[in-house]
Amino acid sequence: MANNTLKIAVIPGDGIGLEVMPYGVRCLEAAAKVFGIPLTFETFDFASCTFYQKHGDMLPPDWKEKLLGFDAIYFGAVGMPELVPDEVSLWGSLLKFRREFDQYINLRPCRLMAGVKSPLADRKPGDIDFWIVRENTEGEYSSIGGKIFEGTDRETVIQETVMTRTGIDRVLRYAFDLAQSRPRKRLTSATKSNGISITMPYWDSRVREMSLSYPDVNVDKYHIDILTAHFVQRPNIFDVVVGSNLFGDILSDLGPACTGTIGIAPSGNINPDRRFPSLFEPVHGSAPDIAGKGIANPIGMIWAGQMMMLHFGYQDAAAAMLRAIEKVLAGGDTNVITADLGGKGTTKSLGEAIEIEILAAKK
């Protein structure tokens, strides 16, 4: 995409999303300046609880038409439960984006960085460095089901897990391709076929079938219960981990937690076919308890922008952004680092420090 201008839709959303987004944009602009990447940004106020209060909906009627013209969505956070119930704000915005734009891959890095202390004993930078690939549009979160006999002692609730060959195969293909591109060439599949007797054995069968097309990728599988234990006890053995919607959801919080903090973790909701825009966001959420104080850590937002550059093939820019984050963290300046990492800094001090390092990068 080197000769095409990337059009980025910026949606700050709620809470600290409004505070960290400016530094995410500034760091992307810095990388674009250094590496000659043509970028344009357009900011939207929808997918926020403020918008909901004004309009009675999280999104305008023509939201899809508005966003279809963009290459990617840069998303801050959604949710202010004292104003709008979470099930309304989340299902009315972020989950709509994922499903209607067929963002069938959720991708999260798990990387222990210098300057961040892991809760796991004796782990140092380099010991934990893997990716989690989660199926993002079907599976256990299908929303198919219902209730009968409500309010009686016969009250019954059913929710279906829906797995399709198309849905499984495309997430596996993405995970295998990612594993094949990495030096270790190792893929771990999350399963529970010893307890879930229909969908999980089918998942395992598709992993076996897909592996035939990737003879250079080493494949193993673990049941989800022991896999979570291995994340804590032996995180260094993992390279790329793939799981269903539910299992991937669990692992993609546990993995970053093992690296010291979910607060700096990014996430990509990706449509690899590029028929629709992909969405990149920090994991930390809107954090209403600290919103407005200027102390939110902007690294998750900036790192999400780094993932965007990686997605579009700008490897050098992505590498420079990641190096900048790591250099500032490793420096450990308590006047720069935010309180969640033991410092006294602000969103501004940390965001600007990373921006300066990006601008100092060499092509």
The stretches in the chain having pLDDT less than 50 are 1-2
Question: What are the strands of the beta sheet with 278-282, ordered from one edge?
Answer: 39-43, 6-13, 72-77, 278-282, 266-270, 105-111, 129-135, 240-243, 186-191, 218-223
Q: What pLDDT score does 307 carry?
A: 98
Q: What pLDDT score does 321 carry?
A: 98
| pTM assigned to the model | 0.94
d(CA 79, CA 121): 34
Strands 6-13 and 39-43: parallel
Q: At what angle do helices 17-35 and 299-311 cross, to 10 degrees?
A: 40
The total number of residues written for the chain in this structure: 363
d(CA 197, CA 181): 33
pLDDT digits (tens, 9 = 90+) for 308-361: 999 999 999 999 999 999 999 999 999 999 999 999 999 999 999 999 999 998
Task: Output the six-digit token pair for 293.
Answer: 């104080």
d(CA 3, CA 326): 29
Q: At what angle do helices 347-359 and 17-35 cross, to 10 degrees?
A: 10
Q: What pLDDT score does 142 carry?
A: 86
Q: What pLDDT score does 57 carry?
A: 96
Q: What pLDDT score does 3 carry?
A: 58
